[in-house]
Structures are given as structure tokens and as C-alpha cells.
Structure 1
């Protein structure tokens, strides 16, 4: 007896073809929306390195640093930079000297960066000007976050003021409530250390949410795509890239320009 082969009906074939078509349309729609909104996403989505996602720069890092050669250059690091050779940590690619380093100290209300204590001591040993920053989590208690930073960071004369790193938008509160939390963190930390903290964020975040309400504070602004021949006078620091190469560190590093000379930099430091 012959075995009858399974044959799909015309209705079944039509159903599969129709659904495949709509699935394809849906995927294409998602891709188009994602691409069109890539800049918005890059500004406001968090990711592993806690830094702003960048597109291709319009000028090389060498050209940017050459343009600001009279200014002071530095880097910032965290536990994501592993196995640093501190003896070789002297220059940014192109021969630009490293004068200062920021180290991530704390995250949210209960975590210290795993490498903070070690990297802070090593940076001091290498005679670098040091700064410590706190990565702020908008949906956690601001006072607890301030106390987390204070518990883990001792600052002295010649160090940078404490830094508040705010990059994400809140999920469970309004922008106004976020600003209240940021101000509370700033107040608690300023009272403890006796100096106004620096606020770090992306240029878009700064323009949209911080510029007007926190104008009394020094700002450290990240923009990886612009080529500024003159840095905004309201910015104390400009984070130029997250993709620099530095002798002594495997992988990419963030590079920063202080908006002034090495002599001017002393005015920003704790006296």
C-alpha cells in the first residue's frame, strides 16, 4: 500500500506566506525606528562602561588635542580598565602628557568600584592629580548615595572636588524629582568636603536638564563627536573620547581636556 505524502492545503500555504510577509514588515519597521533614533538612544541608554556612546569623530584625537595643546590633559578609569602598568602610564597616544586622572569610586547607594582603592593609591604614587567620581543611579536614594561616596573617599588639598556622574533618566520619578535628588547629593557632599562638587554628564543631558538649575557648579561635559576649537566657558572639563590609546592600559580609555592651562587647573582643585 502506498504511503500518502503530507501535502499542505492552499489555505495553509497562503497563511504562512501572509504571516512571513507581516513579520518581515515589522522587523524592517523596528530597524528603521532604531536607526532614526540612534542619537537619542546613545545619549540616554546606560551600558557597561557607564559612558556615553559615540559616533565617528569629525576630527582625529591628535588634531583635537593639538588644537588645545596649551591646556591640561587627563584620563578617567574604573574597574573596567584591568591590569594597568602604572610605570608606563605617562602619555596619551601622540605623545600628549597625562597630568590628571579621575577614578570611579562608588556606584549607587551601596557599591564601591572594585579597583578604586588600588587605583587611587597607584595614581597618587605616580604623582598624578586625582579626582574621584560617583556614578549616580536615579532610582536610588540620593542621601544614601552621598553617604556611600563619603564613606569610601577621602579627599585632600590638591585633589579635584568630588564628582557626581549623572547619565541616566529616571524610570520611577519625574525629572523635577530627579533634580531634587541630585541637589540633595550635592548638598550633603559639599557640606562634608567643604567644596562644590563637579557635575559630569553628556552635552545633551547638560543642555536638556542641568544647565539652568545647576549653573553654580563646575561642569565636566562629554561629547565625542564635536570638534570644538573653543571649549564652552561654562565647562571646566571636556571629555573628548572614550577610544583613546594610552601606554600602560590595555584597550580604550576616556580622554579629558581641562579648560585651561596646568597653572589654571590649580584653581579648580581643593585648597
Structure 2
């Protein structure tokens, strides 16, 4: 019996040469510096305003100065001075000092306020009635929105909104907020539910609702089948600086700072002037 031939030992693998960690770190640092420089140059006007305001005025009048929004907010609002600005709030803002809620950046007047009224089939915003009455007393155009839960009955959600919100002449039409995808149903089924909510609410108020959503959600699921509705679109992209023609309202930040309100606030731009906004209200 022949002895098996001895197996050849595999040739030792050569260790790959290590890339220079120093070179990689340098490239990353340089890239970051270039991005920061580009952003700083792009927002140079806003930065000049911000830094000048902080250094020249806050030292002498610190107690009287209003808190600033970030540089981008100032820049966006400055570019849309032919249009009007507003905010939206909910119970998450807590108790609001409404007499102080006048301007954004101490420069841009707040000319409409939208409040969350209801969510799903059984949730009334804890601050809705308080906020709703206070905004009326401030003589600011107001609107109410319902936060839609895709996995709950659409008609029950509509009835809750109708029961809770008493819209009057001069108020904005009812607003449906849809942001989430369903867990246990198809997109087609979701759209059927949305249409039922919209139809029931329109029948009750005699006003076609406005739909709120994020831009990607809008373009992916809503733009074609709900083209007859006006849209309030959320897009916080740092490099988006102008409202699009087919947006009725643009929510461009969730990090606004408003005197009289603790914490961050959503800030919006209406695609028109005050007269055009009044034309959108009930009874006009």
C-alpha cells in the first residue's frame, strides 16, 4: 500500500499594506472644513445679522431682547418678505404667553397660527381649547389640524374632529395631518380612509380641507390622487430656500424661537400675502 503523498503547505498570505491612517484623517478634516466654509459663505448675510445683533445690542439691552431663531430661519424669512409667516403649536409647547407671541426674530410678524386639535379616534390635544380661544382673542387668523392615525377608523377620527372643532368665519379650512404609513393595511386602503375623512369633514363644514404632510410622503403617495386639495408641506432641508409654487404653506423649520413660547416651534410661510390668506379663510 502506497503512502499518501504529503500535502503541500499553502504559501503564507501576504499581509495587505495598511493604508495611511494619517492621510485618511487629513482628508476627512479637510472635507469637513470645506463644508463648514461653504455653509458659512452661503449664509454670510444671516451670520452678519446674528453676530451684529448679539455683540452690539445684547450687552446694553439683554433683558429686553427677544431670543433669536437660527441663522437659516432669518435668511428664509428675509427671502420671503412678500409673503407672510405663521407658526403651529400643540400641547407640547405647554402654557403659551399669548400676549408675547407677536413676531419671529423681532422682525417678522406672526399672521396666522395653526393648532393641533385632535389625534386618532379618541385623543383631544390637552391645550387645544385654551389655545383656540386665545388665538381668537389675539385677532390672528387661526386654523386647526387633526393628526391622522392610519391604523384607526377614519370616520371615527372625522367625528372626533367635528365634535371638537367649531370653525367660524375667518378661520382656515379644516386640516388633515398625515405623516405615518399603515402597519396592517395597504397604501390603497390608507388612501380610502383618507378620502373618507376628507369627504365627511367637507360635508360638515362646507369647506374643502387642507392636507399636511412631508414632501417625500406627498410626492410618493398623495400628489396624484389628492391633486384637488391644497397642501401644507413640511421640508426642513438645509439647502431648500424657496417655497414651491404648488405648496399653499411651507413648514420650513421645527426649530423656531418665539417670545412667549418655551422650546422649539414650527415656523411656516404662506404662499401669498395677507389678503390672499384671508381669501382662503371660511366665509371669504
What's the TM-score bracket when you normalise by the shorter of the two chains? 0.7 to 0.9
CA drift of 1:93 comes to: 2.1
Question: Residue 159 of structure 1 aligns with which residue?
Answer: 171
- How far apart, in 2, do the equivalents of 1:225 and 1:203 lie? 10
Question: Normalising to structure 2: TM-score of the pair?
Answer: 0.73
Shift of 1:231: 2.1
Over 3 Å counting, the alpha-carbon distance change for 1:88 and 1:94 in structure 2 is closer
Give the structure 1 partner of residue 225 of structure 2.
213
SS of corresponding position for 1:118: helix
What are the superposed Cα offsets for residues 52-87 of structure 1, whole Å, 9 maximum, x if unpaired? xxxxxx971101000001111100000000121111
Distance across 1 between alignment mates of 2:176 and 2:127: 18
- Which of the pair has more CA radius of gyration? 2
Q: What stretches of structure 2 of length at least 5 have no aligned partner? A: 1-69
For this pair of structures, how many residues does the alignment match?
A: 214
Measured in 2, the distance between the counterparts of 1:94 and 1:88 equals 11
Question: How far does residue 180 in structure 1 lie from its aligned partner after superposition?
Answer: 0.3
- Aligned equivalents of 1:99 and 1:227: distance in 2? 25
Separation (CA, whole Å) in 2 of partners of 1:140 and 1:230: 35
The match for 1:42 is none
Cα pair 1:64 1:227 within 8 Å, conserved: no
Question: Aligned to 1:250, what secondary structure does the other structure show?
Answer: coil
1:161–1:269 Cα contact (<8 Å) kept: yes
Distance 2:147 2:133 in 1: 20
1:149 counterpart SS class: helix
Query: What is aligned with 1:32?
Result: none
How far off its partner does 1:229 sit?
Answer: 4.8
1:240 is matched with which residue?
252
**Which aligned segments of 4 or more residues in structure 1 are displaced greater than 6 angstroms?**
none
Greater relative contact order (CA < 8 Å, ≥ 6 in sequence): 1
Aligned to 1:121: 133
Question: For residue 262 of structure 1, what is the aligned residue in structure 2?
Answer: 274
2:120 aligns with 108
Question: Secondary structure of the residue that 1:249 maps to in structure 2?
Answer: coil
Residues 133 and 193 of structure 1: CA distance in aligned 2, closer, same or farther (over 3 Å): same
Contact 1:59 1:227 in 2 (8 A): no
Name the counterpart of 2:102: 90
Contact 2:76-2:242 within 8 A present in 1 as well: no
User: What is the match of residue 45 of structure 1?
Assistant: none
For 1:78, the equivalent position in structure 2 comes to 90
After superposition, the C-alpha distances for 1:40-59 in whole angstroms (9 at most, x for unaligned) are: xxxxxxxxxxxxxxxxxx97
1:195 aligns with 2:207: yes
TM-score computed with the length of structure 1 as normaliser: 0.77
Match of 2:262 in 1: 250
Runs (5+) with no aligned partner, structure 1: 1-57
What is the distance in 1 between the residues matched to 2:238 and 2:255? Answer: 14
